[in-house]
């Protein structure tokens, strides 16, 4: 299929979303336990380079154990791919399969090959997701009956349309127990956004459902990934709309420069980032990304939500804590890097000012020093006038752990030209009754580390340290240590 058709199909998806909705009953009775007429193929992962060489599991053919690698005493992970343009299995499927197998070892990895049903116009592929869900439910029911595989030990991982397939499989599966877990990787948005829980992935489909949203940005009414919560825990890396390194904010520039090829590459980057975040969580378990519950991304960007009390934070990816929240999921936010390992460390920076500066929105540069290393210069830009007796909160991220915070430097970068002019005039007319240069009067500075939940207060090392002038650098240290230093000095003087 040409790149032009890709773009046209996506636009058609939007038109169908606003117009005719696909109606079906997700709560319909499960398929009969007769011969399987589905078109899904279940391939058991092996070390073979070609997926065609993998053993095929057939729910209604004897001899599961002809697949030598299958072990009914092990847990089962089923990977469900999404919409296909060319009928070729995407490379991430093999990478995720091998990563899971190498990391978990005692696990059966099965890939649902529904390429024949996926390589259709998008609305038709959407209709086919229910049939694939039924096929998976048939497989699970058969494994439970014949090989006593507990549904609690089943984990469905679905990408894009595959996320909703996983949901349909969970809802069609009937028994005394639900499927243990479903992970939705940027669940598809077109023809699912705004639909009822029975018509998409929802928290009712498994004991625990988590979802990672990476491309929910909407332009011209089009959003590739679903925006609304669909799980017990819904993660929105970088707000869920754009992903660093994908240059989504330049999508129209890319189309102008590269044609429709630029559109396809940009979409794939952000949409597929959900898969690579999951892979990263398995490969780099020593650098697990932490996300925080927040009402929206705007509040998170202001650093207002780095709280872990009462399950208000969780680990992104495979090892996420199974926190149940009923039918309404919690939204969790985090920042990530543009490449593996994706983890960033989150710092909540709070500064209180006790003076009011009219028509001044200062730009500050701060630098943190920890027991491990220094942060380097970090820019903070105010988007409103500084008023007295008010605390401003900012979110700062670092790609490394600098250790316990010991020292903080702050410098007012704004109005440098005005400062130079004032200094020159003061040199020319030293006796003039000139107004004093503007000052920021700092009341209190605190920094909280999201990953450790440690909070540190900083105090000036000098008596006039609360007053910061333009282009002036001030040094602050941990208040407790500073007080101890002052007490030791008073003791020596005594």
Could you give the residue numbers annotated as active site?
160, 186, 271
Closest CA to 45 of 79, 74, 75, 72: 79
Distance of CA 359 to the CA centre of its chain: 37
Q: Residue 233's beta-bridge partner residues?
A: 210, 330
Closest CA to 292 of 269, 270, 323: 323
User: Rg of the chain's alpha carbons, rounded to an integer?
Assistant: 28
Distance of CA 384 to the CA centre of its chain: 29
First to last CA, the chain: 86
CB 440 within 8 A of CB 353: yes
How many Cβ atoms from other residues are within 10 Å of residue 494's Cβ?
A: 5
Geometric angle at alpha carbon 43, from 38 and 48, rounded to 5°: 155
CA distance 134 to 161: 14
Measured CA distances, 177 to 208, 301, 318, 415 (Å): 12, 40, 22, 65
**Neighbouring residues of 37: CB distance < 8 A, sequence distance ≥ 6:** none
- CA dihedral sign, ordered 468, 472, 477, 482: negative
Closest CA to 443 of 371, 386, 374: 386
> Dihedrals φ, ψ of 180, to 5°?
-65, -50
DSSP class per residue in 393-448:
EEEEEESS---SEEEEEEEE-TTHHHHHHHHHHHHH-TTS-PPPPPEEEEEEEEEE
């Amino acid at each position: 299929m040409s790149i032009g058709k890709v773009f046209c199909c996506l636009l058609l998806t939007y038109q169908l979303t606003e117009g005719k909705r696909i109606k079906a009953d997700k709560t319909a009775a499960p398929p009969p336990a007769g011969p399987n007429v589905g078109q899904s193929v279940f391939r058991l992962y092996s070390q073979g380079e070609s997926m065609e060489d993998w053993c095929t599991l057939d729910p209604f053919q004897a001899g599961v154990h002809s697949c030598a690698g299958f072990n009914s005493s092990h847990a089962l992970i089923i990977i469900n791919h999404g919409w296909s343009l060319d009928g070729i299995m995407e490379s991430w499927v093999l990478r995720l399969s091998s990563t899971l197998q190498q990391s978990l070892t005692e696990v059966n990895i099965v890939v649902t090959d529904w390429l024949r049903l996926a390589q259709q116009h998008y609305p038709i592929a959407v209709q086919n997701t229910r049939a694939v869900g039924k096929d998976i439910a048939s497989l699970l029911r058969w494994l439970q009956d014949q090989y006593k595989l507990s549904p609690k030990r089943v984990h469905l991982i679905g990408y894009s349309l595959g996320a909703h397939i996983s949901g349909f499989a969970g809802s069609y599966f009937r028994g005394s127990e639900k499927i243990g877990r479903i992970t939705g990787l940027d669940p598809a948005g077109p023809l699912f956004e705004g639909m009822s829980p029975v018509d998409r992935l929802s928290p009712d489909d498994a004991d625990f459902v988590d979802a990672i949203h990476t491309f929910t940005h909407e332009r011209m009414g089009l959003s590739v990934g679903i925006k609304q919560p669909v799980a017990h825990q819904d993660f929105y890396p970088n707000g869920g709309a754009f992903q660093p390194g994908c240059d989504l904010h330049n999508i129209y520039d890319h189309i102008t420069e590269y044609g429709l090829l630029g559109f396809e590459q940009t979409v794939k980057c952000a949409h597929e980032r959900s898969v690579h975040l999951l892979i990263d969580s398995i490969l780099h378990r020593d650098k697990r990304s932490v996300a925080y519950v927040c009402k929206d991304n705007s509040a998170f960007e202001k650093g207002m939500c780095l709280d872990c009390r009462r399950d208000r934070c969780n680990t992104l990816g495979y090892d996420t804590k199974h926190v149940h929240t009923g039918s309404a999921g919690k939204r969790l936010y985090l920042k990530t890097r543009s490449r593996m390992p994706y983890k960033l460390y989150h710092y909540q920076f709070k500064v209180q000012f006790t003076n009011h500066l009219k028509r001044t929105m200062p730009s500050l540069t701060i630098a943190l020093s920890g027991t491990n290393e220094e942060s380097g210069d970090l820019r903070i830009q105010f988007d409103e006038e500084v008023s007295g007796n008010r605390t401003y909160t900012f979110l700062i991220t670092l790609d490394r752990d600098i250790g316990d915070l010991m020292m903080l430097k702050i410098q007012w970068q704004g109005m440098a030209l005005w400062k130079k002019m004032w200094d020159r005039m003061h040199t020319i007319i030293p006796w003039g009754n000139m107004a004093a240069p503007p000052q920021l009067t700092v009341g209190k500075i605190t920094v909280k580390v999201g990953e450790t939940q440690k909070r540190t207060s900083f105090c000036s090392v000098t008596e006039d340290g609360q007053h910061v002038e333009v282009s002036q650098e001030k040094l602050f240290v941990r208040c407790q240590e500073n007080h101890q230093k002052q007490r030791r000095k008073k003791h020596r003087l005594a």
